[in-house]
Structure 1
């Protein structure tokens, strides 16, 4: 089946902002002046506080790129935004150091993902890549132990029932758990890098080829540049509450600061079954920004054949339809992706576990109650009853 799912990665306004933040010279200055003029007309408010959050997080990059080419008033406002994000990231960096020291004291290997790792290794400026939480990967075999330790240390989650992380199947179907503690803020604890690859052993390549990362006096690991690019591109292929456009800045920054092993990237995308999302993302980047992405790599990724279930899964990520067919298709593919390391017959019960986790139910038997309840509501609607 065709290995392409149509997706609009940006709105015209978001693309103009990205061009202003990522292009160079006169092209960046022209894009910045045009974008700023439109924002003034749109009344984004003092300090751009009414600007959509995903776009506002790109403003430090915009300021650094075009501060010499824009009028004094917006330059002053952008300077303050730049400083505020720098201060926020400094606080998070200290929190990260404290957390990593805790992991180290408990003998738990760590790999830092996303914002903090990108800030240190690729942006090399603590203001340019705002982040609202910390993302830390631990070995999948240690994940249940680590979650238990964190919960005993005062970390809580509102996304799942308290009993869910105590079940072994939880770690096969879910890639990470969002945790919070009042004195630390938010932590996304990962045992898998990708939502789309949660089968046992999926993350061995990420660990085995990771690179050193120093957080002051604490030694940890980070994804190598090729895997950073894969993570950014796949993570950006979705619709969510905060526009995920910063993946574009992340990907372009990685491409500009590092060498990418294109053979590894292609092979990993096939192994993890993310050719649809990676191919679309790389194609967009290559067509939109000056990048060293080889056409041959994009063509090879997009030439990989996928089945109907895989294609439909990625379509649900883009369109976010909530009908029962879409929900079933989404969860069936998530179940398949959780069981790629074992016989599919043995994995059949996991489809019920996947649905149980999707609906956040305490027991599998509650799926029957939920199904009858929803069927009853549908029949009443069809009969014109409240």
Structure 2
């Protein structure tokens, strides 16, 4: 059943006209509709599907589906408005302390790429901060009442991961991730250091002007993030739609892609594969512009990857180990591996309880 729903969701999410009769789905059956909406929600495209139906004037043709999708759309609208209030609070707080920042992924897309903010649900609030300011930003939030939701495995890991420890700032309930880089130190997807001014720009959206990454950097991050998820064993349909929306918004798609590919040579394969998988959700103009790179595109991944909630744990550990081994300098390699085996006491207490260290390590080995 999920296969036919997934194919229908993909068709609805694309720029092509949607034909409900092309799918063996009873659009009157509550169980079928619930399965469709649940799958769209899991893929992060439930609001986008509602938008596409309204855009094509199919509300009267599929009233029961529209009613279910609209309910999710309104819930995301309310949730994103609350996230906007958190953003405004952080903007004021960081501005008062001369800490520049830029929105990453979800909020950047919702407020500057999609036509309306409710069309893109958000997870954590990801924020990019200059590397020399990230600890100041973390400590500022903690000083203002933020609490840590996770404890890093060590102080070394906190400084070499993509982001410092996640925080929640009451009364807001959303997790804040302060990134000092796009990927962990040692990741082959991590670009060389660039000037802040070259990466970040001010971009107008429906609800104001936001500090976000420039389009080439945004596209690079979205494409490589998608490919990283693919390497980890899981994909999300919404990630493909995100890339398609950035491409559709561009006046010169070919120039945007060239600028994106120039950011980091080791990331070119990831960018091109993600672009190839996303092309099906774009219109004719964008697809024509992408033909220059079509020889580098490969077949879309199996539907099973889209159904995976997360990647395999063993695969995740292998990738983390690879990143540690590619960290710059022998001292960093040794420190990273040491703390991977012998985490900080704070980490051990947080995840494995109080008691003797040997008991904590035993719990860790058997968990």
1:311 is matched with none
Contact 1:135–1:188 under 8 Å retained in 2: yes
2:237 is matched with 245
Secondary structure at the aligned position of 2:127 is classed as strand
CA offsets 1:360-380 (integer angstroms, 9 cap, x no match): 8117xx9x979x969x98xxx
- Residue 192 of structure 1 deviates from its aligned partner by 1.0
Q: Which residues of 2 match residues 219-258 of structure 1 at below 5 A? A: 220-237=210-227, 238=229, 244-258=236-250
2:260 is matched with 265
1:125 is matched with 116
Contact 1:83–1:127 under 8 Å retained in 2: yes
- Residue 34 of structure 1 deviates from its aligned partner by 5.5
Task: Tell me, in whole angstroms, the C-alpha distance in 1 between the residues paired with 2:34 and 2:28.
Answer: 10
1:380 is matched with none
- Residue 277 of structure 1 deviates from its aligned partner by 2.5
Task: Tell me, in whole angstroms, the C-alpha distance in 2 between the residues paired with 1:153 and 1:230.
Answer: 33
Task: Tell me, in whole angstroms, the C-alpha distance in 2 between the residues paired with 1:149 and 1:37.
Answer: 52
Task: Tell me, in whole angstroms, the C-alpha distance in 2 between the residues paired with 1:106 and 1:36.
Answer: 57
Question: Unaligned stretches of 5+ in structure 1?
Answer: 1-9, 303-316, 340-346, 378-386
- Residue 149 of structure 1 deviates from its aligned partner by 1.8
- Residue 184 of structure 1 deviates from its aligned partner by 1.6
2:148 is matched with 157
Contact 1:112–1:137 under 8 Å retained in 2: yes
Q: Which residues of 2 match residues 73-112 of structure 1 at below 5 A? A: 73-112=64-103
Q: Which residues of 2 match residues 1-386 of structure 1 at below 5 A? A: 13-25=5-17, 28-30=18-20, 37=27, 40-42=30-32, 44=34, 48=37, 50-51=38-39, 53-55=41-43, 57-67=44-54, 68-69=57-58, 70-161=61-152, 164=154, 167=155, 170-185=158-173, 186-195=175-184, 202-204=192-194, 207-213=197-203, 220-237=210-227, 238=229, 244-258=236-250, 259-260=252-253, 261-270=256-265, 273-286=266-279, 289-290=282-283, 291-292=286-287, 293-297=289-293, 299=295, 320-323=311-314, 329-339=318-328, 347-355=329-337, 361-362=343-344
Task: Tell me, in whole angstroms, the C-alpha distance in 2 between the residues paired with 1:116 and 1:31.
Answer: 35
Number of residue equivalences: 333
- Residue 245 of structure 1 deviates from its aligned partner by 2.1
TM-score by length of 2: 0.74
Task: Tell me, in whole angstroms, the C-alpha distance in 2 between the residues paired with 1:176 and 1:58.
Answer: 29
Contact 1:136–1:190 under 8 Å retained in 2: yes
Secondary structure at the aligned position of 1:254 is classed as helix
Contact 2:104–2:212 under 8 Å retained in 1: yes
TM-score by length of 1: 0.71
Question: Unaligned stretches of 5+ in structure 2?
Answer: 299-307, 349-356
